[in-house]
Amino acid sequence: MTKLKVYILSRNESLYSTKRLVEEATAKGWEVRVIDYLACSIEIIKGELKINYHGEELPVPDAIIPRIGASRTFYGTAMVRHLEIMGAFSVAGNLAIARSRDKLRSLQILSKHSVDMPRTVFASNKSDVKDIIKLSGGTPLVLKILEGTQGVGVVLVETQKAAKSVLDAFYGMDVNLLVQEFIAEAGGSDIRALVVNGEVVGAMKRQGPEGEFRSNLHQGGSAIAYQLNRKEKVMAVAAAKAMGLGVCGVDMIPSGRGPLVMEVNSSPGLEGIEKATKINVAGKIMDYIEKHFIESQTKVRRGPRDKIGV
């Protein structure tokens, strides 16, 4: 196979995930560069697209691995889209990233594809708070600020009085909220499954500290390797497919009615899952890129009229 040129779109080349991706691309013998996407500018003229980086016109890579921060989604996806139009293969497309970053939109898409999740209510501050509480299944319930990440902006309210007070306060500040049923069976734990090219390559169980219902590692949670059961594996793959992501982390929680998807992360961190499972996830991502180009070359050799099995 020919030597590939790969760009990792990351703001910090010293981050664990970025370093691991560089290591595994280098191990393949590929040319790899870390590109700070915020330092890129794009040029659009009739019939031609260009991308500039620190005064240099970047050649079009064969593939890109977006590591787009949540606070930079608009600019980051613009760069991903530009490179995709120029002909680069992306392990996470610009539209799929944008979908996953919008909590409400992602839940709507998952619901359309029959992926189960906690009951969720979205309403304006003109709605009756009592109706919102009732529609979400009553207290206790979880409030999530739409713009929150890594467990920030997630609040558990245990009584109707507390829920009304918190909802009134948030709506008074014109904050967009999701109101979700609280799944007590989860016990402050969740499951992160890493899906690459439609297959689960590793999973870990995250447990929040005592007294904390959020399990995010950024909130002090711990992680151990986890073996998914059949339902969890099917759910993770279905969620990734629904969102259109070639690489993603699918967060699920256990419940009395089976696994429920909480979120699909388009730029999942690799440190927690690689250390917990001892699985070379970064290498699996490179294998995915390699497989894509091998299959692309095979299709070219066959020609447009040649079909497999015909």
* Cα(302)–Cα(204) distance, integer angstroms: 41
Residue 151 pLDDT? 54
Widest CA span in the chain: 67
pLDDT digits (tens, 9 = 90+) for 154-211: 888 888 888 888 888 888 887 788 889 888 888 878 999 999 999 999 999 988 766 5
For residue 259, CA distances in Å to 203, 232, 252, 256 come to 14, 6, 6, 8
How much is the average pLDDT of 262-277?
95
pLDDT digits (tens, 9 = 90+) for 297-306: 776 544 444 4
pLDDT digits (tens, 9 = 90+) for 112-151: 999 999 999 998 766 778 888 888 888 888 988 876 555 5
- Three-state DSSP class for 186? helix
pLDDT digits (tens, 9 = 90+) for 10-44: 999 999 999 999 999 999 999 999 999 999 999 99
Residue 216 pLDDT? 58
Residue 221 pLDDT? 67
Q: Decide: pTM greater than 0.75.
A: yes
Q: Which domains does the chain have, with CATH numbers?
A: 5-90 (3.40.50.20), 120-182 (3.30.1490.20), 185-279 (3.30.470.20)
Half-sphere exposure of 237 (CA within 13 A, CB side): 12
Residue 310 pLDDT? 27
| Statement: residue 309 has pLDDT above 50 | no
The residue type of 178 is: L
pLDDT digits (tens, 9 = 90+) for 42-55: 999 999 999 999 99
Residue 146 pLDDT? 79
* Cα(95)–Cα(210) distance, integer angstroms: 38
User: b or e along 26-64 (b: 16 or more beta carbons within 10 Å of the residue's beta carbon)?
Assistant: eebebebebbebeebeeeeeeeeeebeeeeeebeebbbb
Which pairs from 227-236 meet CB under 8 Å and 24+ separation? 227/203, 228/191, 228/193, 228/200, 228/203, 231/258, 231/259, 232/191, 232/193, 232/203, 232/259, 233/193, 233/200, 235/115, 235/116, 235/259, 235/261, 236/193, 236/195, 236/200, 236/203
Residue 217 pLDDT? 53
pLDDT digits (tens, 9 = 90+) for 64-112: 999 999 889 999 999 999 999 999 999 999 999 999 999 999 999 999 9
How much is the average pLDDT of 257-261?
94
Q: Check residues 6 and 142 and name the one with the higher pLDDT.
A: 6
